[in-house]
């Protein structure tokens, strides 16, 4: 499924600034908790440079519930695997992982914006280590 197909299923998607490894990003009302289309858009979607789609609801709806409410299946959010070779999954897999780490960090920032600096610092440290390992793998280097 293409990212354009995902956008077509959303109610009034708005452009958002892409972060990390994302090529494009949008915000829209979540089909689970904002089916009436009111309020600030709680749903964030992004297209990774590997072609996968990332979905996150800032009001806490499970990604699988959002996907089902859009009439999709989770497998449709990712491109078909064109290679059956082993190894670390190649640069595309790690690029998707790096984009996911960025999305997690953004979500944590939104959730913890009102406080919890110690927890936020621990989370961002973990995300930074994950991102560094993913980027090292994309370059074919060993993670430190």
- CA 52 to mean position of chain CA atoms: 9
Query: Rounded to whole angstroms, what are the CA distances from 95 to 27, 37, 66?
Result: 22, 32, 23
Q: Which of 17-26, 33-42, 67-76, 80-89 has the lowest mean pLDDT?
A: 80-89
Determine contact, residues 42/59, Cβ cutoff 8 Å: yes
At residue 33, the pLDDT reads 92
Alpha-carbon span 7 to 12, nearest angstrom? 9
Those residues whose C-beta lies under 8 Å from the C-beta of residue 107, and which sit 6 or more positions away, are: 44, 56, 58
pLDDT tens by residue, 1-49: 578 888 889 988 999 988 877 889 999 999 999 988 888 899 999 988 7
Categorize the per-residue pLDDT at 84 as very low, low, confident or very high, splitting at 50, 70 and 90.
very low
Of these ranges, 31-35, 100-104, 136-140, the one predicted with the greatest mean pLDDT is 31-35
Phi, psi of 25 (to 5 degrees): -150, 150
Whether the per-residue pLDDT at 52 is higher than 90: the answer is no
Residue 10 CA to residue 13 CA, distance in Å, equals: 6
In this prediction, residue 104 carries a pLDDT of 73
């Amino acid at each position: 499924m293409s990212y354009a197909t995902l956008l077509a299923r959303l109610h009034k998607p708005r452009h958002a600034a892409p972060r990390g490894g994302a090529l494009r990003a949008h915000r829209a009302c979540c089909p689970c908790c904002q089916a009436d289309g009111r309020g600030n858009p709680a749903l964030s979607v992004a297209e990774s440079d590997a072609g996968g789609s990332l979905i996150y609801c800032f009001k806490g709806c499970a990604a699988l519930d959002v996907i089902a409410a859009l009439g999709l299946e989770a497998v449709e959010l990712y491109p078909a695997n064109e290679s059956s070779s082993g190894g670390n999954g190649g640069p595309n897999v790690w690029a998707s992982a790096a984009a996911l780490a960025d999305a997690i960090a953004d979500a944590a920032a939104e959730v913890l914006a009102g406080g919890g600096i110690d927890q936020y610092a621990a989370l961002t440290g973990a995300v930074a280590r994950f991102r560094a390992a993913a980027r090292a793998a994309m370059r074919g280097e060993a993670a430190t």
